[in-house]
Structure 1
Amino acid sequence: MATSYSVPTNINFLKLVKSYVSCLGHGAYGVVLKAEYSSSRCTCIKFFRNHGKIDFIPNLADLPVHPNIVKVVYFSNKQELKPEKLREILEICPPSFSEFFESQTNSITCVQMELCGFNINDWINREKSREISIVQQLYQVEIVLDLISGLKFLHENNIVHGNLKPTNILFSKEYDLPVKIVDFWLSRIISPLSQENDSNQDYFAPEVETGNYSFQGDLYSLGLIIWEVVNLLDISKNKKELLSDTHRTLIEKHPLLEEDIKKLIVHLTKTNVSERFLNISELDPFTNLWDKITIHDTTANVSNDAELRLCVHYMRSGCTINLSAGNYPGGYCLNNDAITIIGESEKTLIECKDSVGFHVFANDCTISNVTISDREDDTGIILEGCRNKVDNIIVKFSSFPSAAVYTSPTSSDCMITNVSGNYVDTGIWLDGSNHQVENIALSRNHQTKLDAIKKNHQTWDLTILAKNSSVKNSSFDSVLIKGENTILNGVRVKQQIVIEKNAKGTKLAECKAKELVTSSFDEVVKYCKFDTMRGNN
């Protein structure tokens, strides 16, 4: 359910602007600027040239938040612009706006909204020069679904956009999804085809020439934009041929959306309005089908967070996701079985900004060749399912508390190998059963130890609650064993190995530690060396 928010109209938000950074765009209606505040937060402010001919939609202040609609922060018809800010604006605006700003400094009409990224036109032009890939195709699917979702929201709130075009559809940040519809808050009084209108008439429905803005007019524009997105077209260059009802065969089948996308575009872009879809709800069968798209046995090469999230969402068994070097914010949930994620090198950094790097709910997944860093109270990798593998991981944790790899009580038969790193509080926490751990080298820095002492908290590089699990050829600062039938083989420990009384059937072979602490000396210990051994009371 969408969350409602109130858009204040009585605040002089221009007084709060620290500086105007750049001009993001301009047209007949006005100019759009990037504004920075003292907190370093940036927003977007649109100044309107013809404020006397523009009315904001009546229910803008009560409009709920929607992920595919650009959020309006403030709007006002009477904002005051200080002289020093005016000079700053004029330096970055086109010369044609000088007279406009100088004549209206005491009565500026403007909207402050969230700062977004590039527009759909930018993305299409970028993708034309790239090789076709599964990531590109997934982007096309998601953009189509976002567009339909955003426009459906507007129509359900009785809003006709009236100027839907690629430049009014923005990515959340740079080219990050979701895409959002902007410039929906106006009702136009001027003639739709007057010289003052900055609309791109290539996207107008035929009936708009007579001044008839309607929901079906929006659907026509939507169809053209979807056509451009899925076929990487520029409608304006071949408009007459492309928009002829007898040339719909020019619409190409999409590898994921298949023939259905052709049917959708044809019914959205009928010249005769009576033959066009009546309302946007008629698109539901298409979106319901496309929401369930799945991809199997495919390799995807990704280079950013948005691409990785798309692949994790749509890909199924047998798929491999190759991550290029770079920073990824984390918070990735693997819900589909048999997915393999491979980093390019140690420069493939998962930052755990959402408290976890990877959360694996599925089975038979593999994560390898990445570096994981934390922020605070984070977990690098959580394994909930069975037969999952973690290999060749570098851990760079600096906060307290934190954990590098955690297997949950529901997990089993997981394999954790070749994990190394410093600055770790809880290195590896094993719960569940039948896990195998090998070639681990984790240690805590001095500051972490001091933090633990201050909080009266014992920290362990390896904690084993799991049953029937083994650890081989690894090194730690300290080890705690609570699970039954644990096997340590070739494990080197700088401080303690502590075996609690419930850890029956524990076996140690060729291990070395400063101290062995155990409640019972019945454990099988072969070829081990401990500086001291004492009972655990």
Structure 2
Amino acid sequence: MLGKLLSKKMEGTPDPHFLASLKNHSLIGYGSYGVVAKTVYPTVHNPKIMKQVATKFLFLSDTLKVNEHEGILQEFNKLTSLSHPNLVERQHLAGKQFTATEVAHLMKRFSSEDQSSKLWYVVEAKNAKRIAGITMVMDLYGENLQQWVNQVPERIDRRVEFTQVQVCLDVSNGLKYLHEQKILHRNLKPKNILFSEAGFKLPMKLGDFGFPALPPIRPSKSQTTKHTINLDYTAPGSLSRTYTPQDDLFSLGLIIWETVQLLKFVERKNLFDRLVNGRDENLVNDNKVMPKVRELVVGLVVNKSMNFEQALRIIGNWQVAQNVDEFQYCLDHVTAGGVIQLVDVVYEGNFVLEKDNVRIFVLEGRGGKPVIKGQIGRSAACLEISSDNCSISGIKVVGNEGTTGIFLKGSRNTVQDVELSGGSSYGVRSEGVENKLENLTISDYSDIGIQISGGNSVVNKIKLENITSHGIYVYSDNSTVSNVTCSNAKNGIEVLGSSNKFGNIKLDKNSGKERFSGVKLYKNAHDTTIENLTCSGYLREKGDWGLEIESLNTTVNNSGCGPIRLKRRDVTLTNVDGGEVIQVGEDVVNVKLINCRAEKLVSKTEVKTTDCKFREVSQ
């Protein structure tokens, strides 16, 4: 009955007779529910190409009631839709009624030291005529976590430490995803945690997860315990009551302890017993690389009081990249909401972050700032953030010819406490909306210090020095730029977007040779407000303008701008010092000057002035 239902209702089954496609069986493992075999199977995209896979043959007990079938189908169908970088990928799932001949043929292909297990399945199939089952095709992965722990040498180097951290992060992230999908793992143990490829290649993959609580086809309790559930990692009492998410976290805590402290097989069982039943918290050693690990393990295993969010906050702070390869790995494999900590070394390359809500910052207590240095001859950014809601802080970025320092493609990102220098393109290029740049020092760029294209951005506490072309270029609308000092930029700030606000801007021209422009508002920069703008060293004899306004409806307050040129209507200046001159262009109307000062006011149209002081007024 169950096999027929499975065959009819199991989703995502392109070939109901796919067993014929499986070749070259060899046994990987067996247990109370069935066997796992290494097989060769056609690839999804090209059936002519075969690849090695792992196939689980899950045989189900005939004690199942008919009304339980639908629930089992729903549970297994849910598993086929899961997708996460830290989960074993299931390529194919189907139900089948196995005949006695098929079971005998299947078992004949396996070489196993436990001949009784093989014989039992064959005899059972002959007695029952058919056995209902589920077959799953999965990618074939590398060694399991238990194998790695047992082979690590006593002397721990940086490579081992990095692997320990990644294992803890990957297992936690995979389990977190399962819980978000309302799925419990139920059998979390090192043997079910696999490396991606042979040779202990990261990242880690959780396997054997989420199976419904089914009665085994083999009725022996000892067989069930031996082959399906390792009681060492099972929360006390969880087998006799409803299994809960906290039971998975109990298993996670033990696995993290085993991984961080490298508990060997011969000592593990005794140590687990002393921690779980003896509550000896001192067995868990503190670790400088993985701080608060004792608090984590005790909270998950002994007190069972720590929730997933609390655990992830501790584990997330272990992600430290101490060289270029580790940084690249972290960028490739960090999950949304993760962190990457850097140390005071040079990371040379062009790096891209594609995951949302990731923080990159400096490991506390390391002193100097990490340096991200762009590669020579590469036009890409030193660091590109193509995702959203990320933050970068406390680093230095050193560009090379043709490189941009930081490129924000995504939105709602924050760049804070960063020094950028030495590029020939952009210091920071921001395309996404609602990005925030704060407390940046940008120097020696030959093109643009900061370019803002996405709206509703915030630029605050910026120091710009020796920018050959433009200090800040604002294409966006509704952005705020404040607390900026800019020295020796040929064009201090140019604005092409509308409804932007500028405050506390200080521009210094220290070069007397070229024509410089302080702030220039182009035609589309209407509804701009400027407060506390100071432009120093700008002289008309050099062709300089401290402030040029070509936009409509502009307001400038409490500023000392140097020479000013107004070329569009509806401009109001209040308490503004124009230095040498305030020049109003022809046909420019509705200009209001309130409490303004300048050596000269030059206007070919009527200007409304209130409490202003000019030594000379002319047309």
**TM-score calculated relative to the size of structure 1:** 0.56
Q: Following superposition of structure 1 onto structure 2, how do residues 51-66 of structure 1 map, counting pairs within 5 Å? A: 51=59, 58=72, 59-60=74-75, 61-62=77-78
CA distance in 2, matches of 1:250, 1:21: 52
The question of 1:437 aligning with 2:464 is answered: yes
Shift of residue 510 of structure 1?
7.4
Query: Taking structure 2 as the reference length, what is the TM-score of the superposition?
Result: 0.50
Tell me, what secondary structure is at the counterpart of 1:189?
Answer: coil
Q: Which amino acid aligns with 2:28?
A: H
Of structures 1 and 2, the one scoring higher in RCO (CA 8 A, sep 6+) is: 1
**Alpha-carbon distance in 2 for matches of 1:206, 1:408:** 46
The alpha-carbon distance between structure 1 residues 467 and 496, as it changes in their structure 2 partners (threshold 3 A), is closer
Distance change in 2, residues 1:196/1:77 (3 Å): farther
Contact 2:142–2:196 under 8 Å retained in 1? yes
- What amino acid maps onto 2:484 in structure 1? S
Query: Residues 497 and 335 from structure 1, CA distance in 2 versus in 1: closer, same or farther, beyond 3 angstroms?
Result: same
Identify if the C-alpha distance between structure 1 residues 341 and 265 changes in structure 2 by more than 3 Å, giving closer, same or farther: same
Q: Which SS does the other structure have where 1:76 is aligned?
A: strand
C-alpha contact (below 8 Å) 1:342/1:369 kept by paired residues: no
1: distance between equivalents of 2:211 and 2:516?
65
How do 1:4-23 and structure 2 match up within 5 A? 9-13=10-14
The residue matched to 1:230 in structure 2 has which SS?
A: helix
Alpha-carbon distance, 1:508 to partner:
6.4
Matches within 5 A, 1:25-64: 26-28=28-30, 29-31=35-37, 36-38=43-45, 46-49=54-57, 51=59, 58=72, 59-60=74-75, 61-62=77-78
1:434-491 CA-to-partner distances (Å, cap 9, x unmatched) read 5211244679xxxxxxxxxxxxxx9869x99624523234568994387464515368
Partner of 2:305: 284
Q: Secondary structure at the match of 2:370?
A: strand
Give the counterpart letter for 1:9 in structure 2: M
**Equivalence for 2:608:** none
1:390 aligns with 2:419: yes
CA distance in 2, matches of 1:475, 1:39: 58
Distance 1:283 1:262, change over 3 A: closer
Letter in 2 for 1:27: G
**Could you say which residue in structure 2 is the equivalent of 1:77?**
95
Q: Which among 487, 492, 499 is matched to residue 507 of structure 2?
A: 487
Deviation at 1:231, TM superposition (A): 1.0
Q: How many residues align?
A: 453
- The residue aligned with 2:202 is 175
Distance 2:465 2:134 in 1: 65
Highest CA radius of gyration, 1 or 2? 2
Residue 428 of structure 1 deviates from its aligned partner by: 11
Q: Does 1:229 align with 2:235?
A: no
The Cα RMSD (Å) is 6.7
SS in 2 for 1:469: strand
Counterpart-to-counterpart distance in 2, 1:23 and 1:322: 50
Q: In 2, distance between residues paired with 1:304 and 1:495?
A: 41
Structure 1 residue matching 2:509: 3-state secondary structure: strand
Pairing of 1:249-260 with structure 2 (within 5 A)? 251-255=283-287, 256-260=291-295
User: Are 1:301 and 2:322 matched, yes or no?
Assistant: yes
Aligned residue for 1:270? Answer: none
Q: Provide Cα deviations, 1:2-31, integer angstroms capped at 9, x if missing partner.
A: xxxxx97144335999x9999999323123
Shift of 1:301: 1.7
The CA deviation string for residues 80-99 of structure 1, in whole angstroms up to 9 with x for no partner, is 9xxxxxxxxx9xxx9749xx
Between the aligned partners of 2:22 and 2:474, the Cα distance in structure 1 is 49
C-alpha separation in 2, matches of 1:227 and 1:353: 35
* 1:498 aligned to which of 503, 516, 520: 520
Q: Give, in angstroms, the shift of residue 111 of structure 1.
A: 2.4
Give the whole-Å Cα distance in 1 for the aligned partners of 2:24 and 2:537: 66
User: Could you tell me which residue of structure 2 aligns to residue 111 of structure 1?
Assistant: 136
Secondary structure in 1 matching 2:255:
helix
Q: Identify the residue that residue 345 of structure 1 maps to in structure 2.
A: 373
How far the C-alpha of 1:378 sits from its partner, in A, is: 1.4
Which whole-Å deviations, capped at 9, do the CAs of 1:488-517 have from their partners, x for residues lacking one? 536889999834585574636479999999
- Summarize the Cα distance change of 1:195–1:121 in structure 2 as closer, same or farther, 3 Å threshold: same
Distance in 2 between residues matched to 1:130 and 1:404, nearest whole Å: 42
Q: Tell me the equivalent position of 1:165.
A: 189
Sequence identity (%): 13
After TM superposition, give the deviation of residue 204 of structure 1 in Å: 7.2
Unaligned 5+ segments in structure 1 are 1-6, 81-89, 268-281, 444-457, 527-532
Q: In 2 relative to 1, CA 15–225 (structure 1 residues): closer, same or farther, beyond 3 Å?
A: same
Secondary structure of the corresponding residue to residue 390 of structure 1? strand
Task: Tell me which moved more, 26-35 or 188-197.
Answer: 188-197
CA contact (8 A) 1:438 1:472 kept: yes
Q: Which amino acid aligns with 1:165?
A: K
Q: Is the 8 A contact 2:430 2:454 kept in 1?
A: yes
Kindly provide the amino acid, as one letter, of the partner of residue 507 in structure 1: C
SS of 1:37 mapped into structure 2: coil
Mapped to 2, the partners of 1:321 and 1:313 lie a distance apart of 20
Compared with structure 1, are the counterparts of its residues 130 and 438 closer, same or farther at alpha carbon in structure 2 (3 Å cutoff)? farther
Counterpart residue identity of residue 489, structure 1: K
Change (3 A) 1:47 1:120: same
Residue number among 508, 512, 524 corresponding to 2:562 in the alignment: 524
CA distance in structure 2 between the partners assigned to 1:382 and 1:221 by the alignment? 36
- Superposed counterparts of 1:352-371, under 5 Å: 352-354=385-387, 359-360=391-392, 365-369=394-398
Q: 1:416 aligns with which of 415, 433, 442?
A: 442
Output the amino acid matched with 2:56: F
Distance 1:490 1:21 in 2: 77
In the TM superposition, what are the counterparts of 1:369-388 in structure 2 within 5 Å? 369=398, 378=409, 382-383=413-414, 388=417
Q: Return the offset for 1:432.
A: 4.3
3-state SS of paired residue (1:437): strand
**Please, which of 145, 166, 171 is the counterpart of residue 120 of structure 1?**
145
Q: 1:20 and 1:374 mapped to 2: Cα distance?
A: 50
Shift in Å, 1:76 = 0.9
The amino acid across from 1:519 in the alignment is: I
